[in-house]
Amino acid sequence: MSGPRKPQRIIPIQPLFASDPKVYPRSVSGLFQRWRWVFAWLTQIVFYGLCWLPWNGRQAVLFDLDARRFYVFDFVLWPQDIIYLAVLLVLSALALFLFTTVAGRVWCGYTCPQTVYTEIFLWIEQRIEGDRPRRMKLDAAPWSAHKIGLKTAKHSTWLVLSLWTGFTFVGYFTPIRDLAAATMTFSLSGWETFWVLFYGAATYGNAGFMREQMCKYICPYAQFQFVMFDPDTLIVAYDEARGEPRGKRSKKAVPAEQGLGDCIDCSICVQVCPTGIDIRDGLQLECIGCAACIDACDQVMDQMDYPRGLIRYSTENALKNKSSRATIIGRSLRPRVLIYSAVFLSMLVATVWSLALRVPLKLDIERDRAALATETTEGLIENAFRLQVINASEQPRTFAITVGGVAGIHLPQNLELTVPAAASGSVTAQVRLEPGAVRAGSHPIRFTVVDTVDPQVAVTEETRFWMP
């Protein structure tokens, strides 16, 4: 017989994702809004324009993956130059650490593509559907010819911009003029079509629909950046000591007499926020540092004849200690910032120096695999090598090849190789030595490749000669 059954414990099911209500940011004007548009224009002029810039008869910036060559103005980078890409990534990470430590989320607020495209898409939305109250009303209204017309106009404009963005992006990997010609004649390759549509769809989805969700849930930088913050990092902050207790009042009322702070609880700062948060609740992960709430609150303060800056750029320490602007600036030169700056600047200088001194020539040596050493009819010991010479400049060059490193080592005849611009060429070099000139075994030797016209363009690489 079994005993009485234990009552089962019911575990409530928790949803893993809570869908957020749609954010309808209100339009705002002011100093920081102007700066956001300056950065939006600058970044977009560079992005949409740079790929059309001609340089030395080709595209100024082109990542030609098929030919495994990157063109960046005068530089032609080969797979062997991958170190520069690694250095660029390290420099970018260091710059991000540095700017985040000093000025918080300036990257997110002003130059991140997600912010910039959301701003552009929102601008289109506002032009077509109106500002926040009209958009909210339109979305709540039943479908009508008017609503369908507005939505069609908005999505069509978004789609055109998204496809242009996808096309431009692919234009950095396929010469954009060829891409344009192929688009006109409907002869884009399958991959080109896929990537244009893919990046177009990503832009449309991220800037049109995902918006602040990208920053809140997907962007890894948003998740770990608080590690780089300290109490002296510049943040967008609400001055609680000055603003509280918040409350509505007439313009003529004196807040102190009513026991009120300067916040009139108008919620405009919340309405303009692209992530829909209330900055008065303190620093939050969702705050992208766009400063829209500063502009909005400053306008409210102007209307109330209160001093500006209830919401402002400040630091935790400055708010706590009521520090002056000079103190805030002085604290930006703290040890952590100085160390980041020193590392960043030294790496930057070393990279620029290395690029300036970079010889546009590379040499790869490969030993003939058939035999380590052979004996010639003249009785000399011969090792054969395959030399691959990469001409990383934009003019054809003729190179003279010599060998040295061991007394008496030589090539049977003068060896020259002409390599076209931004191309590679290879040649076999038979290196000869008298038997017994060195003891049996492996000996270091050097190949030198020199431009016959410009001796500054030269490179020397080591390999080993095998004496049986």
Alpha carbon of 84 to those of 69, 171, 284, 364: distances in Å?
13, 22, 36, 19
C-alpha 432/C-alpha 418 separation (Å) is 23
- Between 163 and 215, CB nearer to ligand SF4: 215
Q: What's the closest the beta carbon of residue 226 comes to ligand SF4, in angstroms?
A: 14
Provide, rounded to whole angstroms, the least separation between the CB of residue 229 and ligand SF4: 14
To ligand SF4, the closest distance from the beta carbon of 317 in angstroms equals: 19
Closest approach, Cβ 270 to ligand SF4, in A, equals 7
The Cα–Cα gap between 320 and 242 comes to: 11
Indicate whether 303 belongs to the interface with ligand SF4 (CB under 6 A).
no
Judged by CB, which is closer to ligand SF4: 292, or 419?
Answer: 292
Can residue 162 be called a binding residue for ligand SF4 (CB under 6 A)?
no
Least gap, CB of 93 to ligand SF4 (angstroms)? 24
Residue among 108 and 392 whose Cβ is closer to ligand SF4:
108
- CB of residue 233 to ligand SF4, shortest distance in Å: 14
Query: What are the residues whose beta carbons fall under 8 Å from the beta carbon of 141, sequence distance 6 or more?
Result: 147
Q: Which of residues 108-127 bind ligand SF4 (CB under 6 A)?
A: none
Q: Which is nearer to ligand SF4, 276 or 405 (CB)?
A: 276
Q: What region, left, alpha or beta, does residue 305 occupy, with left being phi > 0 and alpha being psi -120 to 50 degrees?
A: left
Rounded to whole angstroms, how far apart are CA atoms 135 and 197?
28
One DSSP character per residue, 272-290 reads T-TT---GGG---TT----
How many contiguous H segments (helices) and E segments (strands) does the chain have? Answer: 16, 15
- Our CB check for ligand SF4 shows the closer of 200 and 289 to be 289
Out of 120, 150, 310, 363, name the contact with ligand SF4 by CB under 6 A.
310
Segment 227 to 266, residues that bind ligand SF4, using CB under 6 A: 236, 238, 243, 246, 263-266
Calpha distance 257→36 (Å, rounded):
39
Stretch that binds ligand SF4, among 295-303, 319-327, 356-364, 401-409 (CB under 6 A): 295-303
Please tell me the distance from the alpha carbon of residue 56 to that of residue 74, in angstroms, as a whole number.
8
Interface with ligand SF4 (CB under 6 A), residue total 30
Burial class (CB in 10 A: 0-12, 13-18, 19+), 379: exposed
Q: Could you say which of 179, 188, 234, 300 contacts ligand SF4 (CB under 6 A)? A: 300
DSSP state of 420: -
In the complex, minimum distance from the CB of residue 120 to ligand SF4, in angstroms, rounded to a whole number = 17
390 in Cβ contact with 420 (< 8 Å): no
The stretch among 42-50, 64-72, 294-302, 456-464 that binds ligand SF4 (CB under 6 A) is 294-302
Q: Which is nearer to ligand SF4, 300 or 422 (CB)?
A: 300
If the CB atoms of residues 236 and 337 are measured against ligand SF4, the closer one turns out to be 236
Please state whether beta strands 374-375 and 235-238 pair in parallel, antiparallel, or not at all (unpaired). unpaired
Q: How far is the CB of 278 from ligand SF4 (least distance, A)?
A: 8
**Rounded CA separation 211/331 (Å):** 34
Q: Minimum Å distance from CB 184 to ligand SF4?
A: 42
Task: Give the count of alpha carbons within 13 A of 268, CB side only.
Answer: 21
Four-residue CA torsion sign, 27, 32, 35, 36: negative
Question: Does residue 291 touch ligand SF4 according to CB under 6 A?
Answer: yes
Maximal CA-CA distance, the chain:
111
Q: How many CB atoms lie within 10 A of CB 308?
A: 15
**Phi/psi zone of residue 410: left (φ > 0), alpha (ψ -120 to 50 degrees), beta?**
beta
To ligand SF4, the closest distance from the beta carbon of 279 in angstroms equals 4
Number of CB atoms found within 10 A of residue 203's CB: 24
CA atoms within 13 A on the CB side of 184: 6
Nearer to ligand SF4 (CB atom), residue 267 or residue 354: 267
Pairwise CA distance, residues 44 & 347, whole Å: 28
64 versus 265: smaller Cβ distance to ligand SF4: 265
Contact track, ligand SF4, 261-290, x by CB under 6 A:
--xxxxxxx--xxxx-x-xx------xxxx
Rounded least distance, CB 36 to ligand SF4, Å: 10
Task: Point out which residues bind ligand SF4 (CB under 6 A).
Answer: 236, 238, 243, 246, 263-269, 272-275, 277, 279-280, 287-293, 296-297, 300, 310-311
